[in-house]
Amino acid sequence: MSRRRYAEEFLTELRSRADIVSLISEYVRLRRAGRRYVGLCPFHQEKTPSFSVDPEKQLFYCFGCGQGGNVFTFLMKMESMSFQDAVETLARKVGLPLPKASLDPEAQKRRAQAAGIRKALEFARDRYREMLFSAHGVQALKYLEGRGLSRDIIDMFQLGYVPAQWDFITQGAIKAGIGVRYLELSGLAIQGRRGTYYDRFRNRIMFPIWDTRGELIGFAGRALGDEEPKYLNSPDTPIFHKGRELYALHLAKPGIRSKGRVCVMEGYMDVISMFQNGIDYVVAGMGTAFSVEQARALLLLCEDVVLAYDQDEAGKKAVRRCIDVFREAGGRSRVVTFEGAKDPDEFVGKYGGGRFGQLIENAPTDIRFIYEEAAKSADISTVEGKLHVKDIMIPVLASLDSEFEISVYTSELSRQLDVRKESLEKDVESYRRRLRGSRAGASEYKNPKNSNTTGYDNQSRSIREDYGVHGSGIALGRQRAEEGIIRALVEKPELIRMASAYLDESDFAGNMCRLVYTNLASSPKLPEDHEVSGWIAEICAKFGPVDRPERVLMDCVRRLKEFQLSELREEMKLVQEAQDEQRLMAIINEYQELLRQVKSTRGDSLDSFPDDFPGREEG
């Protein structure tokens, strides 16, 4: 596999330079909890943080879904990268020169394809920029300046213009040595019925689209004339996926972190206008329905999500869908409403960024917004109006997970409608019962990965299968002892000399324990393998800090030997029944040697598992 193509010394240095807390903080809002950092897991949906980062070990682990590993593993999982790409990305971040490394054929093919696509996109971006500031782009530049955009903002967002030619980019790129295959893969060119290629974008103001790392992955083009659609996006490509990306997120991240807030808008021009007016924590979707994946990416960065969409009926429907999406993703949102303008871009043009900032500050909660919209559609001074609003709000309240939220909103709604709170609560509970009844007979899907895995009563399936057991009896106790040995050695690798006086690789029944022990016995460095790193992260997270690794090591060695003694006793019974005297004598000798080793590990302070050793087995 390609991950072995770099020298271990280089990978170790790179890993030591790359601060895992800093890296993960680019994606997840972390808070310190003792010696660790915790936050919401980016790999599965949750409302209570179960994601743990250990800065000392440079490892992460999620108790909810079992994902874990080092800096390389995190990037690979988060960005769907190969190990090679993760290494190169980290090397760029820390400024460490890359040594030459060979790739396997498949990785080489993917790399070449991505590089070809990016080269085509970068060529197009540069040409679009040239055209905007040329005689061809006079109308486009005038339009942008008429929208109040300064040259600095135009440069920040790398805006450009493509002339009304069928092959402006296609022919220019081919002349520059860019293959037409990459023009098609990047979404810049389309093959016609006669086999010739023509530009996807023509006579449009061009908006580059970046990924979360700030790398160019596609474009959006706004028509200058009456062409439809008004906005045209690049199609999904090997490096661009509309349901995953957020416009200008890489530019907005600093503002999101400093303000603890993100504002989601519909249009690219809305976002750019906000930056022009000093509101720098704004992003937009990709012109398609907002996805749970996009919502979770924002909720990992902050809790305060504000939706600021167009004020027409379509915009309000989009907001309502977004509210549901953010709720599904495990968060809440607030909603900006305003008058005197059709969209945020027009509003700041008329009234300035300061006024819009106040709207964001005072935006009502998602449930309050739904109520206010419902109240506008009916006269709540009448019985019919009250019933109309009630019929809208009861399903909304019944869908809430938090009993506290339900209580707060039923109290508020009862005051607004001038009805008894108890009657609303009964209607909410009645609606819930009907909903549960309609689901009767259908098995509720429960993801086992979201269950509590902080204790040893819930072992991961991979580890159990590694031992050929299902979490009970002697095998599980042996597993605990073997993992305890590895945990102590990870904490203090120099203890391998002490361990080797009692153990060799044949003592380990677990494949992963045996692999890590063998590696540590030959080198003090942990193996640079993302699967092994994930397993080590799980062990470290489950056992927690180990303040006295020597004590833990010796206690676990003793316990492992005791399990081996038990296994030999069982074997003795079978051999005696078979009347195999020769084998019986060999087992007795082995048993006596093991007994001697067990006694040598005992001490007055080591006659039981230590109190600070989680997952110990007393019996």
Is residue 286, in this structure, part of any structural domain at all?
A: yes
At 206 the pLDDT is 98
Lowest-pLDDT range of 19-23, 106-110, 321-325: 106-110
Is residue 441, in this structure, part of any structural domain at all?
A: no
Q: Which residue among 339, 363, 387 closes a domain?
A: 363
Do 111 and 226 fall within a single domain? yes
Is residue 206, in this structure, part of any structural domain at all?
A: yes
Instruction: Judge contact between 23 and 59, C-beta under 8 A.
Output: no
Do 138 and 20 fall within a single domain? no
Do 89 and 196 fall within a single domain? no
Do 118 and 82 fall within a single domain? no
Is residue 176, in this structure, part of any structural domain at all?
A: yes
132-166 tens-digit pLDDT: 999 999 999 999 999 999 999 999 999 999 999 99
CATH number of the structural domain spanning residue 526: 1.10.860
Q: Of the segments 3-17, 423-437, 537-551, which one has the largest average pLDDT value?
A: 423-437
pTM exceeding 0.85 = no
Is residue 451, in this structure, part of any structural domain at all?
A: no
Query: pLDDT-derived band of residue 102, with 50, 70 and 90 as boundaries?
Result: low
Q: In percent, how much of the chain has pLDDT > 90?
A: 51
394-414 tens-digit pLDDT: 999 999 988 999 999 999 999
At 35 the pLDDT is 83
Is residue 613, in this structure, part of any structural domain at all?
A: no
Do 409 and 321 fall within a single domain? no
342-397 tens-digit pLDDT: 999 999 999 999 999 999 999 999 999 999 999 999 999 999 999 999 999 999 99
482-497 tens-digit pLDDT: 888 988 888 888 888 8
Do 465 and 597 fall within a single domain? yes
Do 275 and 383 fall within a single domain? no
d(CA 358, CA 356): 5
Do 380 and 265 fall within a single domain? no
CATH number of the structural domain spanning residue 348: 3.40.1360.10
Is residue 100, in this structure, part of any structural domain at all?
A: no
Instruction: Judge contact between 223 and 229, C-beta under 8 A.
Output: yes
- Asked if pLDDT for residue 440 goes beyond 70, the answer is no
Instruction: Judge contact between 40 and 330, C-beta under 8 A.
Output: yes
Instruction: Judge contact between 558 and 606, C-beta under 8 A.
Output: yes
Lowest-pLDDT range of 81-95, 216-230, 584-598: 584-598
Q: 557: closest CA among 497, 473, 470, 512?
A: 497
Do 417 and 504 fall within a single domain? no
Do 521 and 596 fall within a single domain? yes
At 604 the pLDDT is 38
Query: What is the domain extent for residue 356?
Result: 249-363
d(CA 435, CA 430): 9
CATH number of the structural domain spanning residue 177: 3.90.980.10
Q: Which residue among 363, 386, 415 closes a domain?
A: 363
Is residue 26, in this structure, part of any structural domain at all?
A: yes
Q: Tokens for 325? A: 């999406």
At 173 the pLDDT is 97
- Asked if pLDDT for residue 216 goes beyond 90, the answer is yes
At 103 the pLDDT is 59
Do 126 and 38 fall within a single domain? no
CATH number of the structural domain spanning residue 380: 1.20.50
Q: What is the mean pLDDT of the chain?
A: 84
The dihedral built from the CA positions of residue 18, 23, 25 and 26, taken in this order, carries a sign that is positive
Query: pLDDT-derived band of residue 619, with 50, 70 and 90 as boundaries?
Result: very low
Q: Which residue among 233, 259, 283 closes a domain?
A: 233
Domain count, the chain: 5
Region class of 95: left (phi > 0), else alpha (psi between -120 and 50), else beta: left
Do 132 and 184 fall within a single domain? yes
